[in-house]
Amino acid sequence: VRLVETGGGSVQSGGSLRLSCVASGYTYSSKIMGWFRQAPGKEREGVASINSGGSTTYADSVKGRFTISQDNAKNTLYLQMNSLKPEDTAMYYCASGLYAGVWYPALQPVSYKYWGQGTQVTVSS
């Protein structure tokens, strides 16, 4: 499975961006898709996820501001980010996992097998 993210950029605080992630290869094996981010000097953290049943999970820090969605016909995952804050500045990664459920926490990197190369999001105050 190959994942390619696009849509990052620089915006001012309060602005919006929409990230996209196009998946190719054996995408039928994916049971969960997620967005993660990593700021310099910090660990990678889960932002949002969506499983094959359509259930979503969000980090507390982005609830009410970010929305994850997917278009299965286009093999594309989206992350709509509104009301952006400077603390949202990070490299954002798309990821695909082969398993979902209680043993595979939706926002933990260890639950995912395939990763994209990332797209940078910078929010200025």
Instruction: Tell me the per-residue pLDDT of 34-70, one tens digit each, with 9 for 90 and over.
Output: 999 999 999 999 999 999 999 999 999 999 999 999 9
CA distance 77 to 8: 14
Q: How confident is the model at residue 30 (pLDDT cuts 50, 70, 90)?
A: confident
CA distance 91 to 22: 17
Q: How confident is the model at residue 82 (pLDDT cuts 50, 70, 90)?
A: very high
CA distance 33 to 50: 5
CA distance 35 to 1: 16
Match 């309060």 to its residue by tokens.
Answer: 14
Secondary structure letter of residue 55 according to DSSP: -
